[in-house]
Amino acid sequence: SPVVDTRAVCADGTRVTHAQCCSFIPVRDALLDEIFENSCGENAHSTVRIAFHDAIGFSTRGGKGGGADGSMIAFADTELAFPANAGIDEIVDDLKPFADAHGVSYGDIIQFGSSVALSLCPGAPLVQTFVGRKNATAAAPDGTVPDPFNPVGQILSRMADAGFSADEVIALLASHSIAAQDEIEPDIARSPFDSTPDQFDSQVFLEVLLKGNVLPSNLGPGQGEVLSPMEGEFRLQSDEAFARDPRTACTWQSFVANQALMASRFSAAMAKLGLLGHDPRTLVDCTEIIPRAAPVARRAAIIPAGKTRRDIEASCARSAFPNLQTAGGPATTVAPVPEQ
């Protein structure tokens, strides 16, 4: 007997299990075209960052905000003044009028937007994505977002307070594979954390383990900045410390040559982040309308041209560092992420 498709049909012909997701299809398409300009560029990166900063205003013990509730936008006057949110104002300026025009809550535009942004970055996983969040009723307090000059133990305890293990923190830091800084050293704005900021690959986990020897600006180091291994690349003090700390070094190393593991652990931790402060039974799962990112060519990081195995500061005491290929050609220099 013929199989009957009982799914709802949206205006554009897409079939969905949850009819409520139909209204997010034009939101998705407008985000891709108008906000992200169909590239894994600055605005896509910033939307993944705000997804973290908004959600982490939360404590399992209460009293630190409503989690992924859009308070970063609704209470922008308060939250954007917190030093750890420096630079978030630019994406708020884009997402607030966009959410208002499309009648979408701020919590939804941030978390749904982050999942759509990731779809533009080759190698990024699909993240389980819910909609239906109500707007925040209060700002998150200051101090919920980690600073790059905080010691590892301080960041891990803040993250544990929000419900995340050390392994989940390292998985979330795969996001720094599609990332750049603007605020620590404004004279080298948009300097990336790995050599491939338009790809969600495992390069960041390798490159942060390379011996640091250059300061990519003529100023600095800024607070939270340490020496990087390559001209044009920027390294956060916290990333350097996580890569070498005995509590996190083995998990960090486990992602260097395992794109699939990195992507799946990141996906699970991002989904958890998007649900902070919410009961998923009160939301609608619209993962089915999130586009899939293209794959990346490599399943393991590659040693950048000009570097060798000896430049790697392997830091996991209990397992050998994986064997990696080395890129040929002139020493790698890293270009800024194009302005958007």
- Annotated binding-site ranges for heme b: 176
CA 134 to chain centre: 23
How many other CB atoms are found less than 10 A from the CB of residue 303? 19
Task: Name the CA dihedral angle for 141, 146, 147, 153, rounded to a multiple of 10 degrees.
Answer: 130
The angle formed by the CA atoms of residues 325, 328 and 333, to the nearest 5 degrees, is 105
Of 46-54, 120-128, 206-214, 312-320: span binding ligand HEM (CB under 6 A): 46-54
How many other CB atoms are found less than 10 A from the CB of residue 205? 27
Q: Binding mask 227-266 vs ligand HEM (x if CB under 6 A, - otherwise)?
A: ---------x-x----------------------------
Of 48-56, 119-127, 135-143, 277-285: span binding ligand HEM (CB under 6 A): 48-56
By beta-carbon proximity to Ca ion, the closer residue of 14 and 340 is 340
Q: Binding mask 189-228 vs ligand HEM (x if CB under 6 A, - otherwise)?
A: -----------------------------------x----
Of 5-13, 122-130, 134-142, 176-184: span binding ligand HEM (CB under 6 A): 176-184
Residue 166 has, within 13 A of its CA and on its CB side, a CA count of: 16
Smallest gap from residue 150 Cβ to ligand HEM (A) = 7
Locate all alpha helices (DSSP H) within the chain, ordered by sequence: 24-30, 42-55, 71-74, 76-79, 89-102, 106-118, 152-161, 166-172, 203-207, 237-244, 249-254, 259-274
Q: How far is CA 208 from CA 81, 82, 184, 235, 264, in A?
A: 30, 27, 17, 7, 21
How many other CB atoms are found less than 10 A from the CB of residue 11? 9
Smallest gap from residue 170 Cβ to ligand HEM (A) = 9
Smallest gap from residue 222 Cβ to ligand HEM (A) = 9
Per CB under 6 A, contacts with ligand HEM among 5-24 are none
Start-to-end C-alpha separation, the chain: 53
DSSP label of 206: H
By DSSP bridging, strand 8-9 and strand 130-131 are unpaired
By beta-carbon proximity to ligand HEM, the closer residue of 26 and 143 is 143
Of 170-178, 276-284, 302-310, 321-329: span binding ligand HEM (CB under 6 A): 170-178
By beta-carbon proximity to ligand HEM, the closer residue of 155 and 215 is 155
Site for ligand HEM (CB under 6 A): which residue of 79, 182, 207, 233? 182
Tell me whether residue 53 is one of the annotated catalytic residues: yes
Per annotation, catalytic residue among 18, 45, 53, 102: 53
Q: Which residues are at the interface with Ca ion (CB under 5 A)?
A: 177, 194, 196, 199, 201, 203
Residues that bind ligand HEM (CB under 6 A): 42, 45-46, 48-49, 52, 87, 146-148, 155, 169, 172-173, 175-176, 178-184, 224, 236, 238
Catalytic positions, written as ranges: 53
